């Protein structure tokens, strides 16, 4: 599987929220992805968001990619109850409706941020003639999305909606902060897809050096959300950001599983042989109690030897 996405900067593996969502999720589940950041060449440009290519199948959009990974048995949500799964869906809707418009405005519409940070970054990662067109197109799309979803027809005017959009986003940040409380992840101790989404949306805001920082200032006043970002960054994205470690881990895990299976088989064999040897009826109960504990300890021992 190959993932194409906007590359990293500002201490993040990707500066593009949707790409970051997918990357984070892949890191949570340890999916062996071949990471292929968009660079200066034409071949890398296929769309604006993250793209997952697996054999001949091409998947776009974070939700679709996450669903695809889940089907490949890379599921971070299997620990969740049905109700928590519903909550995940609801909070993702909340992010999309309330936080996304303000994020788009901060990065793509606000003139100062766009011309001093966003446009230079994206145009420097795009091949020559396209670099004069692509960032402008993304900016227009962002503006269009804000106006069409939040503005009032027939005269869509940005001034009317700006204040409302930021007010909604700040409220959304407060709600997320309340929901997270003092825990490490949104659902107990394991990271799930909701954590990937929240991190993907918040981290670029938290790490980017923008001239206009209205939303970032608000985020900084919510220490638990900042800690949440820092924690995921340090736990999942330190040093080996090229994807070697999870794959390696995966291989070790697979080997370990195979070996334990072998050991199990062997102990079963021993058990059978013992059965054959002691066919007398009065010995059977004794044998059962005597044989099982050694089998399980043998198992444990072997796995202990295997762990590096």
Q: Contact positions toward another protein, by CB under 8 A?
A: 61, 82-83, 85-87, 89-91, 93-94, 96-98, 141, 144-145, 148-149, 152-154, 160, 163-164, 167, 171-172, 175-176, 178-179, 181
Cβ closest to another protein, residue 171 vs residue 301:
171
Cβ closest to another protein, residue 178 vs residue 286:
178
Q: What b/e string do you get for 182-213 counting C-beta neighbours within 10 Å, with b at 16 or more? A: eebbbbeeebbbbbbbbbbbbbbbbbbebebe
CB of 56 to another protein, least distance (A): 19
CB of 185 to another protein, least distance (A): 15
CB of 18 to another protein, least distance (A): 11
Cβ closest to another protein, residue 12 vs residue 59:
59
CB of 161 to another protein, least distance (A): 10
**C-alpha dihedral (145, 147, 149, 151), degrees to nearest 10:** 180
Task: Please state, in angstroms and rounded to a whole number, the distance separating the CA atoms of residues 201 and 232.
Answer: 13
Task: Please state, in angstroms and rounded to a whole number, the distance separating the CA atoms of residues 116 and 122.
Answer: 11
Cβ closest to another protein, residue 89 vs residue 252:
89
CB of 97 to another protein, least distance (A): 4
Task: Please state, in angstroms and rounded to a whole number, the distance separating the CA atoms of residues 103 and 16.
Answer: 11
Whether 301 and 260 have beta carbons less than 8 Å apart is answered as no
Task: Please state, in angstroms and rounded to a whole number, the distance separating the CA atoms of residues 196 and 26.
Answer: 9
User: Which residues have C-beta within 8 Å of that of residue 94, sequence separation ≥ 6?
Assistant: 172, 175
CB of 93 to another protein, least distance (A): 4
Whether 36 and 4 have beta carbons less than 8 Å apart is answered as yes
Cβ closest to another protein, residue 178 vs residue 240:
178
Cβ closest to another protein, residue 169 vs residue 263:
169
Q: Calculate Rg over the CA atoms of the chain.
A: 25
Cβ closest to another protein, residue 148 vs residue 262:
148
CB of 290 to another protein, least distance (A): 48
Whether 113 and 102 have beta carbons less than 8 Å apart is answered as no
| DSSP symbol at 157 | -
């Amino acid at each position: 599987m190959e993932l194409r996405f906007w590359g990293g900067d500002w201490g993040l593996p990707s500066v593009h929220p949707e790409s970051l969502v997918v990357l984070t999720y892949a890191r949570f589940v340890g999916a062996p992805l071949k990471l292929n950041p968009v660079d200066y060449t034409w071949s890398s440009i296929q769309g604006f968001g993250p793209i997952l290519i697996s054999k001949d199948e091409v998947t776009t959009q974070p939700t679709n990619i996450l669903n695809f990974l889940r089907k490949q048995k890379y599921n971070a949500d299997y620990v969740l109850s049905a109700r928590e799964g519903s909550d995940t869906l609801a909070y993702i809707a909340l992010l999309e409706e309330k936080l996304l418009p303000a994020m788009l405005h901060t990065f793509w519409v606000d003139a100062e941020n766009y011309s001093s940070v966003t446009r230079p970054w994206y145009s420097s990662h795009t091949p020559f003639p396209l670099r004069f067109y692509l960032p402008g197109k993304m900016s227009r799309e962002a503006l269009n999305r804000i106006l069409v979803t939040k503005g009032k027809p027939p005269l869509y005017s940005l001034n009317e909606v700006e204040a409302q959009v930021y007010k909604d986003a700040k409220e959304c940040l407060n709600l997320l902060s309340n929901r997270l409380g003092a825990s490490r992840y949104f659902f107990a101790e394991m990271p799930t897809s909701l954590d990937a989404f929240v991190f993907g949306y918040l981290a670029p805001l938290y790490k980017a050096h923008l001239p206009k920082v209205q939303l970032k200032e608000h985020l900084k006043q919510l220490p638990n959300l900042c800690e949440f970002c820092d924690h995921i960054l340090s736990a999942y994205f330190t040093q080996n950001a090229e994807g070697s470690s999870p794959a390696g881990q995966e291989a070790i895990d697979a080997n370990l599983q195979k070996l334990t299976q072998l050991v199990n088989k062997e102990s079963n064999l021993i058990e059978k042989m013992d059965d054959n040897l002691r066919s007398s009826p009065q010995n059977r109960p004794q044998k059962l109690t005597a044989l099982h504990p050694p089998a399980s300890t043998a198992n444990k021992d072997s796995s202990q030897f295997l762990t590096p």
